[in-house]
């Protein structure tokens, strides 16, 4: 990227700021190219440097860093660790401000890990760690972007969907999301180069930040890129606009904030100071929205926006597809590789390419093969990774963690120069195992997305749990969907889901086929269930940007929560969960069916008048079939079920007799006596008058007459 002869002094602060990074990026890319040719040389050198620099820390002395001269020494003297190994040290660091315990490097922040369960962890971040972040998350990235699209964008603001909230620990250090700390480098300039005001970036409890992000982004047509910690946040942002554009456009036109938008009054006050009526922009937006959402809307609203930076690997891949419905084909994605508070593990090799490469100077890597069953003797260094194999990542980082098990499982997918590339698969503490199979996030996702594709519905969110009360135990999927397909039963979707799930793992398929594990079940959830979940988590204190969809439900409480919010309508789905009675085609059996229906409706909110009308219908139809269907006696199957919204009964009368549609005016058998035919005709009138819906079909040699009666 040749920056030529730009006169820096003429530029604004933010332009200088970006150019600085872009120019730095030249060196970062060159250096990465060199390092990746010979990764072990650099990775080993990094380890030796970390050991040397930390030999006088409490940890370094405990494990005799001073006498570690090789990787083998390191692996024999220093133990494999997890967070608990450091908890006491971190307590002393954060409560008492003690230094030089784990690291001699300057600790500048503690990241809050978004743990799905348990207490949030405090992960130390040092200035060296931050330097690496800057190098790769900014310099490298902006350089790639500038090379692709030029330099126009540096003049314009970006949309920031990360949260910058931070609190202070007793030691005086800051504590909060790592993306927040990274933004620190912008300092006070942050409000000038991002569109969202601090009221959304450092929100007060009870503030509707989605509205603020959307409102302030919509008024600025020049936005050039978006940063969001997970790409799903950008999708949520776009969906929010799609669902609320009228309100947003009105507010923009009038310079107001609609009463229905929740926020503390002080926040509302301070926001008023930042807005003014913008009728022209409002009109522009209104026209755009009125055109609809079939065409990508992002290039219309923000013609300059050409990049989304965020994590889109592993569980987030499916969101990219949905985002692409809103963006133009030349929109770029910088799919951040495996990044955690502990450090950057891998880096994308190019824009729009999720392949990410290990970074030889970010941390010292060790890998434990997943099939090693925790045998540490099988741990390998990065040069020994085999393509296609799965490993848990173990890190020695620049912030005081040594041989730390990340519990993230990655697969080696090839090499970039001579350095392994990886993809994130799943988290180890998010696995399920019932009977020897190992089901993880990847299997669960794959089955869900395949099923979504098979039926064409829109899968909003889903969760899975193990039903250990049933025998045999089985997996249960809960899905919130939109655009539920017509003419498809839940049973059908469930069947396909089971098939798709089995296809992800042969051991799983084997167990299900042998009924060692029960067939997978599926239930649909009511609309807005996941929104409710998120709102409850926020009400309990989790920050909105950190609420992740609960994919694997382990907590009894979570399971109860979702199960009580099943959507009865979708799960019943047109009658296959109906009750059934089979009777001989004898008029004497009429009483049996009438009694059954009477019992069925006993405790339901049904008027006597409705019940009587229903009985008339049943009588007519049953008698008709008894008379016409069979020469001698045959069987009549009667199915019945209740649907809600509005409350109604649906019934099927099924017989295997002569093909005969009782809705036709004439009886098919002209040898019948005239008076029988007349009775049939009259009876039909009663049915037609009292049933709200009548339908007939002949299928599989069966007459199927369906009726529906609203109560």
Partner 1 sequence: MDIEKHKNGKKLDIKLIGRLDTKSSPELKEVLEDSLDDVEELTFDLSELIYISSSGLRVILSSQKRMDKQGSMKVTNVQDIVMEVFESTGFVDILTIE
Footprint of partner 1 (CB under 8 A): 206, 259-260, 262, 525-529, 531-532, 535-536, 539, 557, 560-561, 563-565, 645
CA distance 247 to 498: 42
Residue 245 CB, nearest distance to partner 1 (Å)?
A: 17
User: What single-letter DSSP state applies at residue 526?
Assistant: P
Give 265: exposed, middle or buried? Use CB within 10 Å, 0-12, 13-18, 19+.
Answer: exposed
Helix and strand tally (H, E) in the chain? 25, 24
Coil, helix or strand at residue 298: helix
Residue 255 CB, nearest distance to partner 1 (Å)?
A: 20
Structure tokens at 192: 């000038």
Structure tokens at 401: 């963690």
Coil, helix or strand at residue 488: coil
Q: Evaluate the omega torsion of the peptide bond into residue 472 and state whether it is cis, within 30 degrees of 0.
A: yes
Residue 560 CB, nearest distance to partner 1 (Å)?
A: 4
Our CB check for partner 1 shows the closer of 138 and 711 to be: 711
CA distance 408 to 393: 6
Residue 429 CB, nearest distance to partner 1 (Å)?
A: 23
Residue 260 CB, nearest distance to partner 1 (Å)?
A: 5
Residue 109 neighbours by CB under 8 Å, 6+ apart: 124, 125, 130, 166, 173, 174, 175, 176, 178, 181
Structure tokens at 35: 């390092």
Our CB check for partner 1 shows the closer of 490 and 534 to be: 534
CA distance 701 to 704: 10
CA distance 247 to 237: 15
Our CB check for partner 1 shows the closer of 262 and 688 to be: 262
Closest CA to 444 of 455, 433, 456: 433
Our CB check for partner 1 shows the closer of 128 and 565 to be: 565
CA distance 269 to 273: 7
Residue 462 CB, nearest distance to partner 1 (Å)?
A: 15
Which phi and psi angles does 343 have, rounded to 5°?
A: 155, 175
Q: Computed over its alpha carbons, how large is the radius of gyration of the chain?
A: 32
Our CB check for partner 1 shows the closer of 607 and 671 to be: 607
Residue 525 CB, nearest distance to partner 1 (Å)?
A: 7
Our CB check for partner 1 shows the closer of 525 and 626 to be: 525
The structure tokens 């348990």 sit at 118
**Pairing relationship of beta strands 174-176 and 107-112 according to DSSP bridges:** parallel
Our CB check for partner 1 shows the closer of 374 and 535 to be: 535
CB 299 within 8 A of CB 220: no
Our CB check for partner 1 shows the closer of 79 and 206 to be: 206
Which phi and psi angles does 678 have, rounded to 5°?
A: -60, -40
Helix (H) or strand (E) holding 302, with range, is none
User: Dihedral, CA atoms, 275, 280, 282, 286, nearest 10 degrees?
Assistant: -170
Our CB check for partner 1 shows the closer of 84 and 482 to be: 482
Residue 112 CB, nearest distance to partner 1 (Å)?
A: 23
Our CB check for partner 1 shows the closer of 89 and 530 to be: 530
Residue 469 CB, nearest distance to partner 1 (Å)?
A: 15
The structure tokens 């099943």 sit at 566
Residue 10 CB, nearest distance to partner 1 (Å)?
A: 50
Our CB check for partner 1 shows the closer of 500 and 529 to be: 529
**Pairing relationship of beta strands 474-482 and 521-524 according to DSSP bridges:** parallel
CA distance 161 to 231: 10
Our CB check for partner 1 shows the closer of 259 and 469 to be: 259
Our CB check for partner 1 shows the closer of 227 and 263 to be: 263
Half-sphere CA count of 316, side-chain side, radius 13 A: 24
Residue 545 CB, nearest distance to partner 1 (Å)?
A: 19
Residue 494 neighbours by CB under 8 Å, 6+ apart: 520, 521, 522
Residue 650 CB, nearest distance to partner 1 (Å)?
A: 19
Residue 645 CB, nearest distance to partner 1 (Å)?
A: 7
Our CB check for partner 1 shows the closer of 188 and 259 to be: 259
The structure tokens 């009463």 sit at 259
Closest CA to 55 of 46, 63, 43: 63
CB 405 within 8 A of CB 84: no
Structure tokens at 664: 């036709």
Residue 264 CB, nearest distance to partner 1 (Å)?
A: 8
Residue 630 CB, nearest distance to partner 1 (Å)?
A: 43
User: What single-letter DSSP state applies at residue 98?
Assistant: -
Our CB check for partner 1 shows the closer of 273 and 646 to be: 646
Closest CA to 241 of 277, 205, 206, 217: 217
């Amino acid at each position: 990227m040749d920056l030529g002869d730009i006169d820096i002094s003429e530029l604004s602060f933010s332009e200088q700021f970006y150019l600085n990074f872009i120019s730095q990026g030249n060196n970062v890319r060159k250096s990465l190219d060199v390092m990746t040719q010979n990764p072990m040389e650099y990775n080993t050198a990094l380890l030796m440097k970390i050991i040397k620099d930390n030999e006088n820390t409490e940890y370094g002395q405990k494990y005799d860093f001073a006498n570690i001269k090789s990787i083998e020494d390191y692996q024999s003297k220093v133990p494999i660790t997890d967070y608990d190994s450091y908890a006491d040290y971190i307590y002393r660091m954060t409560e008492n401000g003690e230094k030089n315990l784990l690291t001699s490097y300057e600790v500048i922040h503690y990241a809050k890990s978004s743990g799905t369960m348990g207490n949030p962890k405090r992960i130390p971040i040092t200035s060296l760690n931050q330097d690496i972040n800057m190098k790769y998350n900014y310099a490298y990235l902006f350089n790639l972007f500038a090379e692709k699209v030029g330099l126009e964008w540096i003049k314009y603001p970006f949309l920031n969907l990360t949260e910058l909230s931070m609190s202070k620990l007793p030691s005086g250090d800051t504590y909060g999301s790592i993306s927040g700390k990274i933004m620190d480098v912008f300092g006070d300039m942050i409000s000038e180069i991002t569109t969202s005001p601090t009221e959304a970036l450092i929100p007060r409890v009870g503030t509707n930040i989605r509205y603020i992000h959307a409102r302030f982004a919509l008024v600025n047509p020049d936005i050039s890129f978006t940063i969001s910690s997970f790409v799903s946040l950008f999708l949520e942002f776009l969906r929010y606009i799609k669902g609320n554009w009228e309100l947003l456009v009105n507010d923009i036109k009038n310079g107001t904030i609609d009463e229905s938008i929740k926020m503390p009054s002080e926040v509302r006050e301070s926001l008023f100071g930042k807005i003014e009526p913008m009728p022209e922009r409002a009109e522009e937006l209104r026209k755009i929205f009125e055109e609809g959402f079939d065409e990508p809307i992002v290039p219309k609203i923000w013609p300059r926006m050409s990049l989304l930076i965020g994590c889109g690997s592993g569980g987030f891949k499916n969101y990219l597809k949905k985002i692409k419905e809103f963006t133009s084909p030349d929109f770029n994605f910088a799919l951040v590789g495996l990044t955690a508070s502990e450090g950057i593990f891998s880096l994308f090799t190019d824009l729009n390419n999720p392949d990410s490469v290990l970074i030889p100077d970010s941390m010292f890597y060790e890998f434990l093969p997943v099939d090693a069953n925790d045998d540490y003797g099988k741990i390998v260094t990065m040069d020994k990774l085999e393509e296609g194999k799965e490993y848990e990542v173990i890190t020695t980082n620049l912030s005081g963690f040594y041989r730390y098990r990340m519990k993230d499982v990655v697969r080696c997918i090839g090499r970039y120069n001579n350095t392994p590339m990886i993809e994130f698969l799943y988290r180890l503490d998010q696995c399920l195992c019932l009977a020897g199979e190992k089901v993880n996030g990847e299997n669960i996702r794959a089955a869900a997305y395949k099923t979504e594709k098979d039926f064409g519905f829109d899968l909003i969110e889903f969760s899975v749990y193990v039903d250990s009360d049933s025998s045999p135990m089985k997996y249960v999927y809960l899905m919130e969907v939109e655009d539920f397909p017509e003419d498809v039963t839940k049973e059908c979707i469930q069947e396909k889901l089971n098939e798709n799930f089995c296809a992800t793992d042969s051991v799983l398929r084997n167990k299900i086929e042998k009924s060692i594990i029960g067939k997978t079940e599926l239930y649909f959830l009511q609309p807005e269930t996941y929104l409710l979940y998120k709102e409850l988590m926020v009400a309990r204190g989790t920050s909105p940007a950190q609420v992740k969809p609960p994919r694997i439900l382990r907590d009894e409480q979570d399971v109860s929560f979702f199960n009580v919010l099943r959507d009865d309508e979708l799960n019943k789905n047109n009658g296959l969960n109906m009750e059934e009675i089979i009777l001989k085609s004898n008029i004497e059996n009429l009483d049996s069916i009438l009694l059954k229906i009477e019992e069925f409706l006993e405790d339901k909110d049904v008027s006597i008048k409705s019940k009587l009308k229903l009985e008339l219908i049943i009588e007519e139809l049953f008698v008709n079939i008894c008379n016409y269907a069979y020469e001698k006696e045959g069987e009549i199957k009667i199915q019945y079920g209740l649907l809600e919204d509005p409350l109604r009964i649906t019934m099927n009368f099924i017989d295997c007799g002569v093909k005969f549609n009782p809705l036709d005016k004439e009886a098919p058998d002209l040898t019948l006596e005239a008076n029988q035919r007349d009775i049939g005709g009259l009876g039909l009138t009663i049915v037609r008058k009292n049933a709200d819906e009548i339908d007939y079909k002949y299928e599989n040699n069966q007459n199927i007459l369906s009726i529906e009666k609203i109560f």
